[in-house]
Amino acid sequence: MSTFLELGLREEISKALTDLGYENPTVIQEKAIPQVIASSQDLKAFAQTGTGKTAAFSLPILEQIDENSKETQAIILSPTRELAVQIGKNIQEFAKYLKGVKVTTVYGGANIDEQIRSLKKGSQIVVGTPGRTVDLIKRRALKLGSIRWVVLDEADEMLNMGFKDELDKVLDATPVEKQTLLFSATFPREVESIARNYMDNPIEITSGEKNKGSDDVSHEFYVVNERTRYEALKRIADVNTDIYAIVFCRTRRETQEVANNLIKDGYSADALHGDLSQGQRDGVMDKFRKKSIQILVATDVAARGLDVTELTHVINHKLPDQIENYTHRSGRTGRAGKKGISVVLVNGKEKGKLRSIERIIKKKFVQANVPSGKEICQNQLMHLIDKVQNVEVNTKQIEEFLPSIYDKLEGLDREELIQKFVSLEFNNFLAYYENAKDLNDLSSSRGDRESRDSGGRGRPRDENMTRFFINLGRKDDLNPARLIGLINDQRITDNIEIGAIDILDTFSFFELDKNFEGQTLSAFEENDPEFNGRGVNIEITKKERSGGGRGRGGERGGRRSSSSRSSDGGGFGRKRNDSGSSPRRSSSSDRKPRAGGDRPDRGSADKQSGGFGRRRRER
């Protein structure tokens, strides 16, 4: 692996990258940077989202830019204002130690006079959305006669959004002699046609298979129905105690509704879509980046430029209309070397789309079960206990209050005290989930009706499968993809069929072809594998089917297991949930829906140009 200096970048740039925490170039950077520095040949680069493509095109430009000239030498076009702003910000950070370099970002929905003033001062690099860029060219505020580089970022998306004319106009305003760089995460036919029309014998580089999803993302689906879709979303949020996620919706109305419901139910959530003003959108994005909201509910277009490296989940509340957009969505997680999970909620009818997506991303979806109330309570409780274990006690600040507190609690023994404080924090959750139903839409999933009751975890959903318990869970960083990897590593037999997987906090279940039951047990025993430094144990779960939901699901191998905590009905809950709304404390419920019609979000400019179906135009 090379260093940034070895790729041909100067000390000042390398230092700025070190400040940003970039230790080594990513694959696409390793390929693009020396190429663009050494040659002025046009370049088509296919990079998965989150692979560092912004730096891949901007660093070699910065390396070669003439700081002494104030002419605009590079124009970077991006489909959305959020993405443009993000790119502009990134370039400014990369150019931190290049004192003479100025970057201006231009986009619709913001004061054009300010942008004109900034351009007049002289910017070597201009980042813009197509509509506003054309506008500024017409007003003669942006002159492209000295352009040396044109970058088309996410060109497929620019075409999708109806910017073909604008692209023509911008490219027409540039000199013939220039280098055109086309960076895109997906590679539909339209991108080929851009390359044909605008590029001269481009060299092609890729940081992986075209359109393929990131290797750091695992893909899960949950089968739900329309009545349970939102409830399932809440359960996924509840079981993942540290969730930091984008929930994708198809339309602005759906986005606003889901966000309003989550807010009303006490989740730390907000909406991002094209009906919001630029100021509102900036505010929401800022809060999300700072993690003062955990769940961002967004349309595809609105979330496009959002660069957050630590998302735990991307949740497809509804699949996108164009399945190619799934790659963009799931690429929001698993960025910069971090692992992420892309979750899809599908009803029976939508399930077919998953196969087409699998062909595009070249990965398999793993079916997951909507968590049961007990699993959620267990996870939340353990999370609470972890927090108690780790909280720092500031004796100095609390000592003056302690004697009277000790006095008051004197009559309680240790157990009572623990029970009371857990109840205080937790009664809402316990009550809410006490009689929680199984939300998996079993009518459309593998014909398994038996696991409708809460005892379903103890046995396989398919009689050709054997259900195994494994002593690893989320706490060990286990996810479906890693579990499949672990199973495959045992070389039980070629292509063994793997069925449903349930990952819980501290343990999990998986199903394997019944014919290899014995071989599976002996393979794990002989190999004695370790996972994240932990010894791995598997056992066959108890198979007989007994009636009733309560007090029976969690036995495996003849002894009472910890799984009974998650599957028997008589665990935590005592009170009925009277509120019927949410286990989370409600924060602000007074926000009103801001959405307009129920239509796919094609950017805020739709509204200005007369609505759905019309060409997108930024002003």
Catalog residues that contact ligand AMP under the rule CB under 6 A. Answer: 22, 25-26, 29, 50-55, 307, 309, 335-336
Which structure tokens are listed for 467?
A: 């259900």
Shortest Å distance, C-beta 51 to ligand AMP: 5
In angstroms, the CA 558 to CA 543 distance is 10
Per-residue CA distances from 583 to 27, 31, 137, 249, 438 (Å): 44, 50, 54, 23, 17
Q: Which is nearer to ligand AMP, 216 or 358 (CB)?
A: 216
Helix ranges, 162-241 (H): 164-172, 189-198, 229-239
Which structure tokens are listed for 306?
A: 């959002």
In angstroms, the CA 612 to CA 165 distance is 19
Which structure tokens are listed for 397?
A: 């600040």
Shortest Å distance, C-beta 336 to ligand AMP: 4
Q: Which is nearer to ligand AMP, 51 or 508 (CB)?
A: 51
Phi, psi values for residue 540, rounded to 5°: -80, 135
Q: Which is nearer to ligand AMP, 9 or 470 (CB)?
A: 9
Q: Which is nearer to ligand AMP, 307 or 513 (CB)?
A: 307
Shortest Å distance, C-beta 48 to ligand AMP: 8
In angstroms, the CA 420 to CA 385 distance is 13
Shortest Å distance, C-beta 326 to ligand AMP: 17
Q: Which is nearer to ligand AMP, 17 or 345 (CB)?
A: 17
- Which residue of this chain has its Cβ atom nearest to ligand AMP in the complex? 52
Q: Which is nearer to ligand AMP, 52 or 202 (CB)?
A: 52
Closest CA to 175 of 74, 303, 283, 76: 74
Shortest Å distance, C-beta 23 to ligand AMP: 6
Q: Is 110 exposed, middle or buried (0-12, 13-18, 19+ CB in 10 A)?
A: middle
Shortest Å distance, C-beta 185 to ligand AMP: 8
Which structure tokens are listed for 125?
A: 């690099």
Per-residue CA distances from 322 to 188, 240, 327, 328 (Å): 11, 28, 10, 11
Q: Which is nearer to ligand AMP, 36 or 236 (CB)?
A: 36
Phi, psi values for residue 475, rounded to 5°: -60, -25
Shortest Å distance, C-beta 124 to ligand AMP: 20
Helix ranges, 240-350 (H): 252-264, 278-289, 300-303, 325-330
Shortest Å distance, C-beta 8 to ligand AMP: 15
Q: Which is nearer to ligand AMP, 29 or 380 (CB)?
A: 29
Beta bridge partners of 248: 298, 316
Pairing between β-strand 465-470 and β-strand 125-128 as defined by DSSP bridges: unpaired
In angstroms, the CA 296 to CA 212 distance is 25
Shortest Å distance, C-beta 30 to ligand AMP: 9
Residues in the chain: 619
Cβ–Cβ < 8 Å for 524, 536: yes
Q: Which is nearer to ligand AMP, 90 or 261 (CB)?
A: 90
Cβ–Cβ < 8 Å for 86, 305: yes
Shortest Å distance, C-beta 54 to ligand AMP: 3
Q: Which is nearer to ligand AMP, 207 or 299 (CB)?
A: 207
